[in-house]
Amino acid sequence: MADAHMLVFQDSRLVYGKFKGNAVRDFFDNFELRFCTLDIKMRRSGCLVVLPVLVLILPVVLAEYLLPGDVVPKHYDVRLVFDVDPRTNYSFFGVADILLDVKKTTSKIVLHAQEYTVAEDKVVFHGAGDLPAVTSVKLNDTYNFLTLTLNKELVEGSSYRLQIPFYGNLKIGLDGVYISTYVNKKTKLREYLIATQFEAISARKGFPCFDEPIYKATFRLNIGHHEEFTAVSNMPLFNTTKDNALEDVWSWETIAKKFRKDRAHFVWDQFENSVPMSTYLVAFVVSKFSYVESPPELANTKFRIWARSDAIDQTAYAANLGPRVLSHFERWFNVSFPLPKQDMIAIPDFSAGAMENWGLVTYRETALLYDNQQSSFLNKERVAEVIAHELAHQWFGNLVTMKWWSDLWLNEGFATYAASVGVAAVEPAWRADRSYALDNILSVLSLDALESSHPVSVPIDNPKRISEIFDEISYRKGSTIIRMMTMFLGEHVFREAINNYLVKHSYGNAEQDDLWAELTAATQRHGGLSRNVTVKQVMDTWTTQTGYPLLTVTRDYTDNSLTISQKRYLSLGARASSASSWWVPLRVLCEGETQTQQEAGPVQWLAAGEGTRSLHRFEHGAAPDQWVIFNTDMIAPYRVNYDPRNWQLVSRALASGHRAVPVLARVQLLSDALELAWAGRLDYTTALQLTSYLQKETDYLPLSTGLRALAKIENVLKRTPDYGAFQKFVRRLIGETYNRSGGLSSGMILNEDDLISVKMQVTTSSWACRMKVPGCEENAIALFDRWMESPNPDENNPIPLDLRRTVYCVALSRGSVRHWRFALERRRSANVAAARDQLLHALACSRDTWILAQYVLAHPNIPAPQHPNTTPYLEWAITEGSEVRRQDAAAVLAGVTRSTVGYYVAKDFIYDRIQDIYNAFSQGRRIGFIIKTLLDQFIALFL
């Protein structure tokens, strides 16, 4: 497992640009800059930083973690009975009957099991003939291998039926088969439910199984439970009976000793046989939930949305959108949805945003439920995006599954890309195809610029490392390079290839080379790519290598030529030379040309190896006084650095008439200029002069991109004397746009039906309050005070929905403990997850350290506050059954860590309570998220 250790950072050579002295203040005041740099070296003679982190000690193995494959499953009959009752410690009994095919003669069967007891004396084979007997049952805890030794060999080519009985107790948690709880807002009673989360390797916690994606099989589930509950699973219900389905192995007398309940109150729900699928897609929920059924005309598939009975009125949007997205994907993939029904269910405690279990998609409440009185427009967009993502998985991931987790990106990257396709089809005014692509690319450009990044297709040498690749590289970079393919192949060719891929590998497994083969074949049928390059040649450079290229473009102003070099971009500077190179699709726009003209021509290529050892020459059509811009449609994730004269030409064009430069080109320029300056590859005079045009920008995407990049500078300056100059600079950039978009002074959302307009008002309002735009914070506090004065604040909230997150945070950072406790009470009363989420974020904005953490722990030398019933907010994050749900705990710790005052409190808390934090989070990704957030703030302190 993991232990807390002390990691000492010494003699590290992290070098950043330092915003120092009057030089930057002068620029922020006058849009001019004299830029200074300061090397920050954490040395023995300088600062010594001691940071508690978790060090995971993982054994070095080759293929020892994989099942041998001598015996494979063909069908599972899984019978379970649960007592959803804390008084009996959530007891359960189960039987897994597995039909096995023998691929190689063997006297051992190896499969997976974890967190329950296998009844060794009851493990037997069933069937006719002279069957083998099980002589020993051993469980290896390292890889959860359950090894059954037999008294005779299984015969190659034969089939056997193996029965494995087991029993145990469920836990309140977030993976495997787990218990979740909630309080019914109508009855005020605490209710319990059983949920599952089996991805990636937690199906073994539900029942003994071959828990690797390549071992697809059919499943028939039979679930026993108290009659007050309802069970739902991947497939439709076949029948319900009062007969104990486990009687041949677990008599009711045995079960009753644990359950202490009358058999007459239990029922067993048997579900239809499933299609062949991987174990991680098996799912069931046992609850007291209700459901609504979608209008049958929206899809050919029966569609139901499940939720808490007191939240069922929040399912209308999902019930309408879900079947429309499903129907669109049937047309887009040209493959029918193969199941007779599709259920989607909102779980009160859920580790991920959602999980694509075939026929039963599970969600966090915030990702499925929408209330038009309590959920913002941005919440609505999030619901649509997640639903589209999960429904795309029903084809890409479920129908065709990766062979091993190394190709997780085939699942997640494609679903992330397809989400934009699905949302754009059902909500076309949102322009999801463009906005989602931009968000994905910018995230990739940030994360993949680190030496610690990993390839899209990454070798996994230990199952315990699988969770590490459920990150933005697999999701967002995967999506970005899939979008890149659609652009250089053309959508018609791309969709033809995807259809062939899905049909050919239906109900089976595939790897990325299988996808490349279909894409190359489709491309060749339509004439092929320029330079006779294959899809595999291009895409392997993007999936098997870490990172992305920086193109350095230098123009020769005496003719129409330029030179290009490529090298892997690293945001902190390369510590070692890199031989990486890519096939880079090039689209180049010259001043005076239109985007349409540029896109009409074929994509040009910078080949792998070109521009590495020698410069690659490229001709263009711009005059010496005209600009040249690469990647104007952001076809691929790479950065571009120009010679100083071309940067000046671009900057001048933006200042004089920015609309002559296409929207995505403006996004690319802003992102590149500020990032290259941050990394010391471009002077800040050039970068900030280019950024100055934002005061005239009226399109949301470039403005939000510029602010996103400036946030890195803000993080450095916010604890320095230069922060005021930075605030003044940003006020000039956003002041007019803030007022024009409606801001906070209007007390309303100006264009509440226009998502882009709403985003503009929300983003500029948040920045305006942080940058001290006159009146912004005062308006926020006034709105919050009006809410506090409302006679029925839980029903009447005067704060506009999409502005609440900003208003809440300002009010709680500027207000007193009275404001904090009012927000806490409203969160306790809220029945809409989105509303609770906004208030949870706001509670972390407090500047009262005694509220954020235990007083003695954080500030032992400060007198105790004279406040009764003090609330240690951070303590809740690691306390079971507290105000903070397990799914939200990491967000609480990260939220406090990011705040200016809260950082110091959170740092002490994490230092002193690292073992308790680890004990509270069984999911390693959450630990990493907390540590990363702390380090982001820690680094800023030394710049």
How far is CA 12 from each of CA 38, 507, 536, 570, 939, rounded to the nearest angstrom? 15, 50, 39, 16, 12
Residue by residue, what is the 3-state secondary structure of 458-525?
Answer: CCCCCHHHHHHHCCHHHHHHHHHHHHHHHHHHCHHHHHHHHHHHHHHCCCEEECHHHHHHHHHHHHHH
- Residue whose structure tokens are 């037999």: 150
On whether both 202 and 230 belong to a single domain, the answer is: yes
Check whether 389 is labelled as a binding-site residue. Answer: yes
Position 599 scores a pLDDT of 66
Check whether 357 is labelled as a binding-site residue. Answer: yes
Pairing of strands 508-510, 588-590: unpaired
Check whether 412 is labelled as a binding-site residue. Answer: yes
Query: Does residue 188 sit within a domain?
Result: yes
Alpha helices in 696-753 (DSSP H): 700-717, 723-741
Stretches where the chain sits below pLDDT 50 are: 1-62, 854-871, 940-943
Query: Does residue 218 sit within a domain?
Result: yes
Least Cα distance to 163 among 222, 270, 79 occurs for 79
Report the C-alpha dihedral over residues 260, 264, 266, 270, rounded to 10 degrees. 140
For 100, the 3-state DSSP assignment is strand
On whether both 559 and 531 belong to a single domain, the answer is: no
On whether both 130 and 260 belong to a single domain, the answer is: yes
| pLDDT digits 0-9 by tens, 813-855 | 998 889 988 998 998 899 998 998 899 888 888 887 776 654 3
Which amino acid is it at 649? L
Query: Does residue 867 sit within a domain?
Result: yes
Position 59 scores a pLDDT of 34
Least Cα distance to 701 among 750, 763, 637, 776 occurs for 763
Q: How far apart are CA 761 and CA 737, in angstroms?
A: 8
Across the strands, what pairs with 92? 82, 168
On whether both 529 and 564 belong to a single domain, the answer is: no
Assess contact for 519 and 494: CB atoms under 8 A: yes
How far is CA 773 from each of CA 541, 714, 769, 813, rounded to the nearest angstrom? 47, 16, 6, 16
What are the DSSP calls for 347-381, one per residue? ESS-SSSEE--TTEEEEEGGGT---TTTS-HHHHH
On whether both 447 and 595 belong to a single domain, the answer is: no
Return the ∠ at Cα 415 (arms to 409 and 420), rounded to 5°.
130
> Which residue in the list 272, 390, 472, 777 is annotated as catalytic?
390
Long-range contacts of 178-185 (CB under 8 A, 24+ apart): 178/349, 179/84, 179/90, 180/347, 180/348, 180/349, 180/350, 181/348, 181/349, 182/308, 182/348, 184/308, 184/309, 184/310, 185/310, 185/831
Position 709 scores a pLDDT of 95
Tokens representing 457 are: 């297709």
Q: How far apart are CA 928 and CA 377, in angstroms?
A: 30
What region does 716 belong to: left with phi over 0, alpha with psi -120 to 50, or beta?
Answer: alpha
Q: Is 511 one of the annotated active-site residues of the chain?
A: no
Quickly count helices (H) and strands (E) in the chain. Answer: 29, 33
Query: 593, exposed or middle or buried, with CB in 10 Å at 0-12, 13-18, 19+?
Result: middle
Residue 247, domain CATH: 2.60.40.1730
Check whether 393 is labelled as a binding-site residue. Answer: yes
On whether both 562 and 700 belong to a single domain, the answer is: yes
- Residue whose structure tokens are 């950039």: 733
Residues ≥6 apart with Cβ < 8 Å to 631: 586, 587, 638, 640, 665, 668
Assess contact for 177 and 354: CB atoms under 8 A: no
Residue 490, domain CATH: 1.10.390.10
Residue 712, domain CATH: 2.60.40.1910
Query: Does residue 33 sit within a domain?
Result: no
On whether both 490 and 597 belong to a single domain, the answer is: no
Residue by residue, what is the 3-state secondary structure of 876-932?
Answer: HCCCCCCCCCHHHHHHHHHHHHHCCCHHHHHHHHHHHCHHHHHHHCCCHHHHHHHHH
Q: Among 288, 315, 331, where does a domain finish? A: 288
Tokens representing 471 are: 């990150």
Query: Does residue 267 sit within a domain?
Result: yes
Query: Does residue 383 sit within a domain?
Result: no
Check whether 199 is labelled as a binding-site residue. Answer: yes
Q: Among 288, 314, 346, where does a domain finish? A: 288
| pLDDT digits 0-9 by tens, 223-259 | 999 999 999 999 999 999 999 999 999 999 999 999 9
Assess contact for 369 and 315: CB atoms under 8 A: yes
Q: Among 668, 688, 718, where does a domain finish? A: 718
On whether both 457 and 572 belong to a single domain, the answer is: no
On whether both 606 and 520 belong to a single domain, the answer is: no
Assess contact for 344 and 388: CB atoms under 8 A: no
Least Cα distance to 173 among 265, 92, 90, 297 occurs for 90
Tokens representing 506 are: 């239906």
What region does 938 belong to: left with phi over 0, alpha with psi -120 to 50, or beta?
Answer: alpha
Domain range holding 650?
552-718
Query: Does residue 456 sit within a domain?
Result: yes
Pairing of strands 616-619, 124-126: unpaired
Per the structure, how many domains does the chain have?
4
On whether both 406 and 282 belong to a single domain, the answer is: no
Residue by residue, what is the 3-state secondary structure of 551-612?
Answer: EEEEEECCCCEEEEEEEECCCCCCCCCCCCCCCEEECEEECCCCHHHHHHCCCEEECCCCCC
What one-character DSSP code corresponds to residue 292?
Answer: E
On whether both 513 and 580 belong to a single domain, the answer is: no
What phi and psi values does residue 124 have, to the nearest 5 degrees? Answer: -145, 165
Position 444 scores a pLDDT of 95
Pairing of strands 588-590, 628-630: antiparallel
Position 932 scores a pLDDT of 72
Residues ≥6 apart with Cβ < 8 Å to 386: 353, 354, 363, 367, 368, 419
- Residue whose structure tokens are 């193969």: 338
pTM for the predicted model, two decimal places = 0.88
- Residue whose structure tokens are 């502005």: 803
First to last CA, the chain: 35
Return the ∠ at Cα 541 (arms to 535 and 543), rounded to 5°.
90
Residues ≥6 apart with Cβ < 8 Å to 768: 731, 734, 735, 738, 743, 744, 776
Element (H, E) at 549: strand 549-556
Check whether 354 is labelled as a binding-site residue. Answer: yes
On whether both 404 and 451 belong to a single domain, the answer is: yes
Query: Does residue 324 sit within a domain?
Result: no
Q: How far apart are CA 736 and CA 930, in angstroms?
A: 37
